[in-house]
Amino acid sequence: MRIPEDVRKDIPLTQEVIYFDNTATSLTPIPVVKAMDEYYLKYRANVHRGVHKLSQMATHKYEESRKTVADFIGAKFEEIVFTKNTSESLNLVALGLEWKKGDRIVTTPYEHHSDLLPWQRVARKYGAKLEIIEGDDEGNLDLSDAEKKIKGAKLVAVQHVSNALGVIHEVEEIGKMAKEEGAIFVVDAAQSVGHMEVDVRKIHADFLAFSGHKGPLGPTGIGVLYINEEMFDIFEPPLIGGGTIEDVDLCCYKLTAPPERYEAGTPNIGGAIGLAAGIKYIEKIGLDKIEKQEHELVKRTTEGLTELEIPWYGPRNLKKHAGVVSFNVPPLHPHDVAAILDEHNIMVRSGHHCALPVMKRLGINGTVRASFHVYNSIEEVETFLGVMEELVKSLR
């Protein structure tokens, strides 16, 4: 496959706009839409609930999708639970574990609200203690501080890639520290899966969360919670009911085995099928090619912004910088910059990116964020830099 030309052909919207808002959600390739169309038009039925052939077919495709997800991140079939999105997955972890006063939860200063609020609530409700690993303004974590804080912790929750700063965190090293301490290791992989290799065993994850609609090029409304099988005995399903049981009497119930134990009610069947199609599409391109393309785009973007003296955030070491570039054009408000870019058909996100503690730490009210996927081109970056140059000139 030629990158990005052949991918762009599969994504009609790339011909209409410059889409640099991939951190929020990605564009959808035709094969993903077709896979979902096929479900809705040819075998639309519920799963695990019928002997008729449509239900059999839907069940087969749904479970085949689970296998695709499992293989993609190095997990076992039964360790994959379909959810709504990363936020739901992370909340489920916090709700399904048992907590007591004094339990220590360790996280980072760069987390998305979805990997911070659930732990804050646990701390408030049960008297657990939330501890934050030290780090610098570029988003680099102090690993020796991580080692100190992780000692005796019950749970360590870390994002793989920051959606606000683009920094790639050392999840493998941190996971190892957590394992050595017997702590539960939770990874927010919302911005890494689909953009770079993620192997749950390699990074020692006990739980890992991601959304279908971002890196994996799937639809919205489908997410994944990976649950290491070693957690099955201590992780209670926060939601129970239809589909989660082996037996029920009026007095009581017996839960069924995972993964069904963790999926109450009718799941997002078309979404899971679309997600698997997205993953297959990613595999066809190759994660190495995706990473390489995004790296080129980040390199040119940061180089161009530096030339224009536009401050950008995140690590200067571009090996640690994923395909997300946050910047500001003082004295303009980030929303005004985004609106100007929109006039030129360039879609970026502006605001606090659900990472208010990061913004407060940097003393800013938000950033403009250009975020990439494999279908973005260097030509698009040049167009973007051209608009930025004109904008900067108009301000000086």
Ligand X SMILES: Cc1ncc(COP(=O)(O)O)c(C=O)c1O
Do 332 and 154 meet the contact criterion of CB atoms below 8 Å apart?
Answer: no
- Rounded to a whole number of angstroms, the minimum distance from the CB of residue 28 to ligand X is 15
Of the listed 1, 117, 255, 354, which one is catalytic? 354
- Written in H, E and C, the secondary structure of 101-156 is CCCEEEECCCCCHHHCHHHHHHHHHHCCEEEECCECCCCCECHHHHHHHHCCCCEE
- Rounded to a whole number of angstroms, the minimum distance from the CB of residue 393 to ligand X is 33
- Minimal CA–CA distance to 19: which of 377, 390, 312, 332? 377
- Return the structure tokens found at 9: 């052909």
Which phi and psi angles does 109 have, rounded to 5°? -75, 0
- Rounded to a whole number of angstroms, the minimum distance from the CB of residue 163 to ligand X is 3
Q: Give the nearer residue to ligand X in terms of CB position, either 192 or 228.
A: 192
The vertex-370 CA angle with 172 and 214, nearest 5°, equals: 55
- Rounded to a whole number of angstroms, the minimum distance from the CB of residue 364 to ligand X is 18
State how far the Cα of 37 lies from the Cα of 40, in Å rounded to an integer: 5
Binding positions for ligand X, rule: CB under 6 A: 23, 85-87, 112, 114-115, 159, 163, 188, 190-191, 211
- Return the structure tokens found at 130: 């939330």
List the alpha helices (DSSP H) in the chain: 5-9, 30-42, 53-73, 86-96, 117-126, 143-150, 171-180, 269-285, 287-307, 334-343, 356-362, 378-395
The 10 Å Cβ neighbour count of residue 330 is 9
Tell me how far the alpha carbon of residue 392 is from its chain's centroid.
33
Q: Give the nearer residue to ligand X in terms of CB position, either 87 or 228.
A: 87
DSSP 303-345: HHHHHTT--B-S-SSGGGB-SEEEE--TTS-HHHHHHHHHHTT
251 among known catalytic residues: no
Q: Give the nearer residue to ligand X in terms of CB position, either 163 or 376.
A: 163
- Rounded to a whole number of angstroms, the minimum distance from the CB of residue 246 to ligand X is 31
Q: Give the nearer residue to ligand X in terms of CB position, either 191 or 376.
A: 191
Residue position matching structure tokens 């689970």: 66
State how far the Cα of 94 lies from the Cα of 186, in Å rounded to an integer: 10
- Rounded to a whole number of angstroms, the minimum distance from the CB of residue 334 to ligand X is 16
As a dihedral over the C-alpha atoms of residue 222, residue 326, residue 186, residue 154, rounded to 10 degrees, the angle is -140
Q: Give the nearer residue to ligand X in terms of CB position, either 85 or 140.
A: 85
Q: Give the nearer residue to ligand X in terms of CB position, either 112 or 373.
A: 112
Q: Give the nearer residue to ligand X in terms of CB position, either 86 or 268.
A: 86
Indicate which residues carry an active-site annotation: 354
